[in-house]
Amino acid sequence: MVDLSRALAGPHAGQMFGDLGARVIKVENPTAGDDTRSWGPPFVGPEDDPQATYFFSCNRNKESIALDLKSDDGRETLEKLIARADILVENFRGGVLDRLGFSTARCSEINPRLVILSITGFGHDGPEAARAGYDQIAQGEAGLMSLTGSGPGDFNKVGVPIADLLGGIHGVVGVLAALLERERTGRGKVVRTSLIAGMVGVHAFQGTRATIAGEDPQPGGNHHPSLSPYGMFRCRGGAVQISVGNEKLWQRFCAAFDLDPSAPGMETNSARVENRPQVTAAIEDAFSAYEPEALLEKLETAGIPGGIVRTLQQVYDWEQALSQGLKVSVDHPVLGEVDLPGSPLRFFDVDASGERETTVTQHAAPPLLGEHEAVIRSWLED
């Protein structure tokens, strides 16, 4: 895979392919490399060679070559890479690759089996195709911020660049489908997605509230707009989250905490949604006698799904997260051994004797700028 992308959407897609076992060659400009190499703080490492932790979040399992694509050598080297590639990922603004001499038609001419993933901000066509796409702008434009916040009118972005991340993830899904089709046709394809498409693609039930019911959903804080009780509730010294998703659980929940399941305003889910302040007050009054850990134990005993809100440091120390491979160690040439968030996927072979895990557990650190240039150029000359 040739990764021409920078920032987050395309690099996240490239990292996913690297996690899946692809050889990912990241092409960077020789002056400063990927934009995220300078995004900070935080920076870590020596003062004369600071490393941006942002770059580390989306570039493991890649090799780096620095190419000036406006030079003859840069264009010739990229052409050789394309000729050998299965996938090319780019997230330039529309027309940039064409001006460099690498339009989709030209890339397909070089390698008819090439699958091209193009990620833009607003889509490659339509009346606003030329707009620059950045995550928070896309979160606002595509409606996600209108759903996120403490209450009506209090619009907030998600705490991670979710538009970028979902643009990359949707792109990977499209590429995998195109690779499968290539097995039948022998030809590659162009897969296009955008930050706003990724956002609309996860509207889920909020989207159908708008398209079918004619509603315009507003931020609802930490409570589900269609279920009650489902959300975060205060208790003594903290808070817990509960998910009471059906009437059977509601009956069980009320029995555990001496609540009347058929009290006025609480007898059905619809009634509880309509009377949410009343329900929340009753539950938080019942929870006030418990500290979080004791409350979670009681919920577990009653069979009610519950949890706490962990900080990221707590997540990366959590035995359950560690058991799922969600933290990995890599050896970086400047920083030495560092920990990174792990891949969300695990793989198993299955036969009559059962399952045998085949998940890759050894990962390469995000590369230094141009770190693999000699290796890549030598391979291209073979």
Binned at pLDDT 50, 70 and 90, residue 94 comes out as: confident
Residue ranges of domains in the chain, CATH in brackets: 2-204 (3.40.50.10540), 230-307 (3.30.1540.10)
- pLDDT given for residue 95 in this prediction: 82
Q: pLDDT category, 71, cuts 50, 70, 90?
A: very high
pLDDT (average), residues 259-268: 93
Q: How far apart are CA 68 and CA 66, in angstroms?
A: 7
pLDDT band for 32, please (50, 70, 90 cuts).
very high
* pLDDT value of position 220: 87
**What is the structure's pLDDT at 301?**
96
Is the predicted pLDDT of residue 290 greater than 90, yes or no?
Answer: yes
Q: Which of 34, 135, 164, 331 is catalytic?
A: 164
Over residues 88-97, mean pLDDT: 89
Question: What average pLDDT score do residues 25-51 get?
Answer: 95
Q: How confident is the model at residue 96 (pLDDT cuts 50, 70, 90)?
A: confident
Give 43's pLDDT tier (boundaries 50, 70, 90): very high
pLDDT tens readout for residues 132-186: 889 999 999 999 999 999 988 899 999 999 999 999 999 999 999 999 999 999 9
Region 40-69 average pLDDT:
96
- Across the range 102-116, mean pLDDT stands at 97
Is the pLDDT confidence value at 239 over 90?
A: yes
The whole-number average pLDDT for the span 85-106 is 92
Is 48 a residue of the active site? no
Query: Cis bond leading into 261, ω under 30°?
Result: no
Is the model more confident about 26 or about 382? 26
Calculate mean pLDDT across residues 35-57.
95
User: Among 120, 127, 93, which residue's Cα sits nearest to residue 196?
Assistant: 120
| Model pLDDT, residue 107 | 97
Q: Are 171 and 193 in contact (CB under 8 A)?
A: yes
Provide the pLDDT for residue 93: 82
The predicted structure's pLDDT at residue 382: 84
